[in-house]
Amino acid sequence: MNATDALAAAKQASIDGKLSQTAVENIECWLTENRYAEYRDQVADEIAQQKWQALDDAFWTIIPFGTGGRRGRMYPIGSNAINDRTIGESAQGLADYVVQYHKGQKDLSCVIAYDTRHKSRHFAELCAGIMVAAGFKVYFLDDYRATPQLSYAVRYKHCDCGIMVTAS
């Protein structure tokens, strides 16, 4: 199923009460905007398989960023799920904020840690790549760590920020 047909099917599913309108709006972004191109086929496949409940859960909102970071269930696609796209957006957002906060500073640095939870290391490596691409020196703690160890490392290394990938 191509993106045009997938979008038409999603809109019809909304009319039929199988998808929320906000899910369709977010699905439309993922099917039509270039920044989501790598996920387009997967979104279209899920629509072709009529996975309406999973799609509605994954797209009904944009997963919020709160005091504890982003929290949600893992699903490979969707704006309301923990996946490569939403974790990458979080890391890029942090990088952009720190760069703006430290206007003109050239030696920005970040510590990244992860715990034993499913895909924690994968997401930590993804964050590291994004921070390096944004010009940060990254200290990657290459083993399972507790959150207080990240806090200590940020202070010890005099870093500008830290990222802890954890489900807690």
Q: Would you please indicate which residues are annotated as catalytic (active-site) residues?
A: 168
Question: Is the distance from CB of 120 to CB of 126 less than 8 angstroms?
Answer: no
* Helix/strand number for the chain, H first, E second: 7, 5
Q: Which residues lie closer than 8 Å to 41 by C-beta, 6 or more apart? A: none
Q: Where are the beta strands (DSSP E) in the chain?
A: 65-66, 69-70, 109-114, 137-144, 161-165
Which residue in 35, 29, 39 sits closest to 7, CA to CA?
29
DSSP class of 66: E
CA distances from 152 to 7, 14, 29, 114 (A): 48, 49, 40, 14
